[in-house]
Amino acid sequence: MIIHKSPGAGDPWLGSLFWPGAPGKQPARSLGKEAPLSLKESITALQRTLAARDPYTGQHSIRVAALAASFAQYLGLASEDLRSLGNAVNLHDLGKVGISDAILLKQGPLTPQERQIINTHPVIGVKIVEPLNLSPREKEIILLHHERWDGNGYPLGLAGEDIPFLCRLTALADVYDALVTDRPYRRQFTVSEALKEIEAHAGRQFDPRLAKEFIGFIAATEAKAVATAAPPNPA
């Protein structure tokens, strides 16, 4: 039987960061006699731990955080929202360190049983970040980024506007990056194909109004990239 591991299992450094009472382990959020890690340092350290365990997921988290922040700026969100996204989205898949290698690093589609296990990663992630000074809504992003507009997501099965706005935003960035990234079991989608997929799932998986804004944002970003890359017109 394949089971998922407890956060920090098999990873002495991660365990020492969050389980200070264990024999031979250092105080939470500190290493040796160093001062406690700042929130930014803690986030960076956890990112590196995730990337060491699963390079794809580590890089995916960084890309999704950048994409979510850019989309938030496009929407004109407040600096507080940008800060929350920066803190939380970088850690949105951190709970995958608690999933067994047989599932997390599998080079192919997951079975239904394996999918059920990997779907526990948001809950694991929130438990891992508990010692950090994250705000309640930053923890919500980690916990609820796989909720769906139609209520068929996880872990709580929230629907519509019961899903916090920044979680709905993160879901779009998360799925888009996954689509346009090559995977061992499927080729990467083109930008056009990925946007069609987003559009097809608007109102089911995604907030329909936010999905429309996201499609416009990506289209504008791509157009700007093309214009920037184009050679100057001859005089």
Q: Is residue 6 part of a domain?
A: no
Residue 58 in any domain: the answer is yes
- Per-residue pLDDT for 11 more than 70? no
Task: Please check whether residue 55 lies inside any domain of the structure.
Answer: yes
For residue 22, the model assigns a pLDDT of: 37
* Residue 16 falls inside a structural domain: no
> Could you list the residue range(s) of the whole structural domain that residue 120 is in?
38-229
Percent of the chain at pLDDT above 90? Answer: 74
Is residue 149 in some structural domain? yes
Per-residue three-class SS string for the chain: CCCCCCCCCCCHHHHHHHCCCCCCCCCCCCCCCCCCCCHHHHHHHHHHHHHHHCHHHHHHHHHHHHHHHHHHHHHCCCHHHHHHHHHHHCCCCHHHHHCCHHHHCCCCCCCHHHHHHHCCHHHHHHHHCCCCCCCHHHHHHHHHCCCCCCCCCCCCCCCHHHCCHHHHHHHHHHHHHHHCCCECCECCCCHHHHHHHHHHCECCCECHHHHHHHHHHHHHHHHHHHHHHCCCCCC
Average of per-residue pLDDT across 83-106:
96
Nearest to 127 by CA among 142, 115, 116: 142
Q: For 12-49, how does the pLDDT look when each residue is reduced to its tens digit (9 = 90+)?
A: 434 444 433 333 334 344 444 566 679 999 999 999 99
- For the chain, the domain total comes to 1
- Rounded to whole angstroms, the Cα distance separating 186 from 190 reads 12
Alpha-carbon distance of 142 to 234, in angstroms, equals 50
- Which positions ≥6 away from 215 have C-beta within 8 Å? 195, 198, 199
Asked whether residue 28 is domain-assigned, the answer is no
What is the rounded CA–CA span in Å between residue 54 and residue 40? Answer: 21
Give tens-digit pLDDT for 198-221.
Answer: 999 999 999 999 999 999 999 999
Beta bridge partner(s), residue 202: 206
pLDDT recorded at residue 233 = 62
Chain position carrying tokens 């608007």: 202
State how far the Cα of 6 lies from the Cα of 3, in Å rounded to an integer.
10
What's 160's domain CATH number?
Answer: 1.10.3210.10
In a domain, 186, yes or no: yes
Sign of CA dihedral 140, 144, 149, 150: negative
In a domain, 11, yes or no: no
Reported as a single tens digit per residue, the pLDDT across 97-140 is 999 999 999 988 899 999 999 999 999 999 999 999 999 999 99
